[in-house]
Amino acid sequence: MNEMHNPYLPYPVRVDQVVTETEDEKLKTFKLVFLNPEDEERFDYVPGQFAELSIPGKGEIPIGIASSPTEKGFISFTVNEVGLVSGYLHMMREGYVMGVRGPLGNWYPWEEMEGRNVVIIGGGFAFTTLRSSIVYMLDPGNRGKFKEITVVYGARTPGMLLYKDELASWERREDIQMHITVDGTDDPGWKYNRGFVPAIAKEKVRSADDAIAIVCGPPVMIRYTQPVLEGLGFPPERIILSLEMRMKCGIGMCGRCNIGERYVCKDGPVFSLAQLKQLPPEY
């Protein structure tokens, strides 16, 4: 981030496109374009980071960055409509102007992931920064840096999956092993897996050898995926989790998001299981 930029001041952005992702219309992806092109350069991010999306006069909320830095000219975020600010966000239409503050937080451990097998495990709407990571790794300039890429991604129903067109295109590729699953469906045309993410991970992830696992999803999914990965032989340093705590400032100043001595907004949101085992179990 530019040192001269006040970290509390959002960059102005224009809503370029709004895509409704899920059948319940609660999840929408917002493609945002910086009003000042130099702000795009200042917003120099890495997959795994988040930003504060702000609606003038209404408030701001932390949201994981769903686009990849290899995608130029825009940034995108997928937002679940759960309350006040996310509700205002869902009213945003193409052409509206709002603010983005960031990038904030740390990121997935890319230096350690390079040269290794990468296992991505995601559930529900927490797939956003995993989408960023997959697009980043599949970029022609980056794909050679990683060995096998295995993805297990699940949602409650087919209609609740995010990024359906991209999932289909990744399914067709040979350089990424996709294992999409739904908790259940009556659709006879459903051609992927059925079952909860931890069970599909147990069935499909072959080995922990030279591999690092990134896990992002609801707490119950994380709770049941952790023993599966440990059972496969992943040491806690190579199980990486992203946390979603309540936050306010996003820059380690207000004390809203601490777990023990750590601030999730600044020291995280990405932690290894080894690091989390050192902290009080408040996450």
Instruction: Kindly state the smallest distance separating residue 266's Cβ from ligand FES, in Å.
Output: 6
Does residue 50 interact with ligand FAD by CB under 6 A? yes
Q: 34 or 107: whose CB is closer to ligand FES?
A: 107
Instruction: Kindly state the smallest distance separating residue 66's Cβ from ligand FES, in Å.
Output: 20
From ligand FAD, ligand FES, none, interface partner of 78 (C-beta below 5 to 8 A by class): ligand FAD
Does residue 178 interact with ligand FAD by CB under 6 A? no
Instruction: Kindly state the smallest distance separating residue 83's Cβ from ligand FAD, in Å.
Output: 2
Query: Of 236-275, which residues contact ligand FES (CB under 6 A)?
Result: 247-250, 252-257, 263, 265
CA–CA gap between residue 225 and residue 146 (Å, rounded): 23
Does residue 244 interact with ligand FAD by CB under 6 A? yes
How far is CA 11 from each of CA 5, 6, 14, 74, 171, rounded to the nearest angstrom? 10, 10, 10, 13, 36
162: left (phi over 0), alpha (psi -120 to 50) or beta: beta
Does residue 7 interact with ligand FES by CB under 6 A? no
Give me the residue label for tokens 């983005």.
Answer: 100
CA–CA gap between residue 132 and residue 120 (Å, rounded): 12
Q: 82 or 253: whose CB is closer to ligand FES?
A: 253
Instruction: Kindly state the smallest distance separating residue 271's Cβ from ligand FES, in Å.
Output: 14
Residue 69, token pair as written in the block: 């830095």
From ligand FES, ligand FAD, none, interface partner of 85 (C-beta below 5 to 8 A by class): ligand FAD
Does residue 269 interact with ligand FAD by CB under 6 A? yes
Count of residues that bind ligand FAD according to CB under 6 A:
21
Instruction: Kindly state the smallest distance separating residue 62's Cβ from ligand FAD, in Å.
Output: 4
**Is the previous residue joined to 12 through a cis bond, with omega within 30 degrees of 0?**
no
Comparing CA positions, the residue from 213, 273, 212 lying closest to residue 243 is: 273
CA–CA gap between residue 36 and residue 14 (Å, rounded): 10
> Phi, psi (5° rounding) for residue 103?
-70, 150
Q: 63 or 98: whose CB is closer to ligand FAD?
A: 63
- Provide the angle, in degrees to the nearest 10, between the axes of the packed helices 128-138 and 164-171: 40
Task: Tell me if 108 sits within 8 A of 241, measured CB to CB.
Answer: no
From ligand FAD, ligand FES, none, interface partner of 252 (C-beta below 5 to 8 A by class): ligand FES
- Closest residue to ligand FAD, judged by C-beta, is 83
Instruction: Kindly state the smallest distance separating residue 1's Cβ from ligand FES, in Å.
Output: 16
From ligand FAD, ligand FES, none, interface partner of 248 (C-beta below 5 to 8 A by class): ligand FES
Query: Of 173-232, which residues contact ligand FES (CB under 6 A)?
Result: none
What is the CA 93 to chain-centroid distance, rounded?
Answer: 23
**DSSP assignment string, 143-184:** GGG-S-EEEEEEESSGGG-SSHHHHHHHHT-SSSEEEEEES-
What is the contact surface with ligand FAD in residues (CB under 6 A)? 50, 61-64, 78-80, 82-87, 125, 128, 244-247, 269
Binding residues for ligand FES, rule: CB under 6 A, are 247-250, 252-257, 263, 265
